[in-house]
């Protein structure tokens, strides 16, 4: 079962699990995901799509659960912040309850946002984070932190088989064109010939992982021995400044857009980069797709959308 399976990452994960020979139940309330993302899978007899909001209990029979359901970009998770926390927290309780009843293995799609605005670079899993509990991003950051707590309490209390994956910035085809995330924003602006909006002076850095690399690692984490719980960072440690990213996209799209600078939003981290030492050790994994190649594939997708 993949909750949030018709979203950006979820749809790629469903595809991958089907290709690996699994039966896949995709559960989604279509808040940010869409049927279009999985329409090509509907004719596969091993694929099932169910409209359901995970803040309510669900009774199905499955043996592995990937819990991805949650709006993931600030514009989406701040649209209804109470529902965001409910999805993370009540959603986790419902998914964990299901896993407990079925003795199923369960993986949580956590996030680098659990580190908040970090004082440590790159961030290892042992870093406890610097998160504002009362800011506009808190519904997401604290919701995800509480979900991790629940996973580890179910593991300690009920010996549930859990896996917690902390995902860093991931991009690729089927990202939302208007979700305000930097990669989709810049590509859409470049393709439309609009100004490229940079918040701050563009010297803040980010690392970007291509979706196929992330899915490879996620499936790898699910297959680790039961003793392995994580949390485990998955992302691409190569850092780029936001300005470099904008310039890269301008080159690849051959756009004439100009750079426009705006003030930084609240709680925006200045730098974020995963320490992927654990993923290398445990999974023998590291990202293989260069930013240029990943951006080209993503730009092709957005061109098609336009
Ligand atoms: N993409 C990234 O860079 C990134 C980084 C860190 C963490 N994550 C995590 O990965 C997961 C997937 O992210 P994504 O980028 O694919 O985002 P997305 O918005 O495309 O996918 C989330 C999916 O969850 C669904 N959903 C939301 N609330 C739901 C609910 N209450 N019940 C059922 N379905 C619900 C949405 O409709 C959507 O299909 C999220 O949990 C997100 O926090 C993503």
Backbone angles phi, psi at 198, to 5 degrees: -110, 125
Whether 171 is a known active-site residue: answer no
CA of 140 to the centre of ligand 1 (A): 11
Q: Biggest alpha carbon distance in the chain?
A: 58
264 pLDDT band, cuts 50/70/90, is confident
CB distance 38 to ligand 1 below 6 Å: no
Q: Is the pLDDT of residue 28 over 80?
A: yes
Q: Which of 3, 9, 180, 301 to mutate to test the pocket of ligand 1 (most atoms within 8 A of CB)?
A: 9
Q: Which helix (H) or strand (E) holds 18?
A: helix 8-19
Query: What is the rounded distance in angstroms from the CA atom of residue 155 to the CA atom of residue 229?
Result: 9
CB distance 87 to ligand 1 below 6 Å: yes
pTM: predicted TM-score of the whole model, two decimal places: 0.96
Q: Is the pLDDT of residue 271 over 90?
A: no
Query: What is the rounded distance in angstroms from the CA atom of residue 157 to the CA atom of residue 154?
Result: 5
pLDDT (tens digit per residue) in 43-64: 999 999 999 999 999 999 999 9
Q: Is the pLDDT of residue 234 over 90?
A: yes
Query: What is the rounded distance in angstroms from the CA atom of residue 286 to the CA atom of residue 279?
Result: 7
Contacts of 145 (CB under 8 A, 6+ apart): 114, 129, 131
* CA angle centred on 229, ends 289 and 286, rounded to 5°: 15
130-135, Cβ contacts within 8 angstroms, sequence gap of 24 or more: 132/267, 135/266, 135/267
Q: Is the pLDDT of residue 249 over 80?
A: yes
**Lookup: tokens for 280:** 């290398």
267 pLDDT band, cuts 50/70/90, is low
Q: Is the pLDDT of residue 179 over 90?
A: no
CB distance 209 to ligand 1 below 6 Å: no
> Looking at the DSSP assignment, which residues form a beta bridge with residue 232?
165
pLDDT (tens digit per residue) in 97-144: 999 999 999 999 999 999 998 899 899 999 999 999 999 999 999 999
């Amino acid at each position: 079962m993949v909750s949030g399976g018709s979203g950006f990452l979820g749809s790629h994960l469903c595809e991958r699990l089907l290709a690996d020979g699994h039966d896949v139940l995709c559960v989604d309330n279509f808040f940010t995901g869409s049927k279009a993302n999985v329409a090509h899978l509907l004719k596969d007899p091993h694929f099932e799509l169910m409209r359901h909001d995970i803040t309510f209990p669900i009774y199905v029979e499955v043996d592995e659960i990937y819990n991805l359901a949650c709006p993931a970009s600030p514009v989406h998770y701040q649209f209804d912040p109470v529902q965001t926390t409910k999805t993370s927290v009540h959603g986790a309780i419902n998914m964990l309850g299901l896993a407990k009843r079925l003795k199923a293995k369960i993986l949580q799609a956590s996030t680098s946002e659990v580190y908040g605005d970090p004082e440590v670079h790159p961030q290892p899993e042992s870093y406890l984070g610097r998160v504002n509990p009362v800011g506009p991003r808190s519904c997401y950051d604290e919701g995800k932190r509480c979900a991790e707590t629940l996973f580890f309490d179910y593991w300690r209390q009920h010996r549930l088989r859990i896996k917690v994956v902390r995902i860093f910035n991931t991009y690729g085809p089927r990202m939302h064109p208007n979700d305000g995330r930097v990669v989709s924003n810049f590509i859409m602006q470049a393709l439309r010939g609009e100004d490229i909006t940079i918040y701050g002076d563009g010297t803040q850095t980010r690392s970007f992982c291509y979706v196929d690399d992330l899915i490879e690692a996620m499936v790898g984490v699910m297959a680790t021995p039961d003793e392995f719980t994580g949390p485990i960072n998955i992302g691409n440690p190569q850092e780029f400044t936001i300005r470099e990213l904008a310039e890269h996209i301008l080159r690849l799209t051959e756009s004439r857009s100009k750079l426009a600078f705006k003030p930084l939003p609240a709680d925006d981290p200045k730098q974020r980069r995963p320490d992927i030492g654990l993923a290398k050790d445990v999974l023998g994994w590291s990202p293989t797709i260069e930013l240029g190649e990943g951006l080209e594939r993503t730009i092709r997708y957005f061109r098609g959308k336009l």
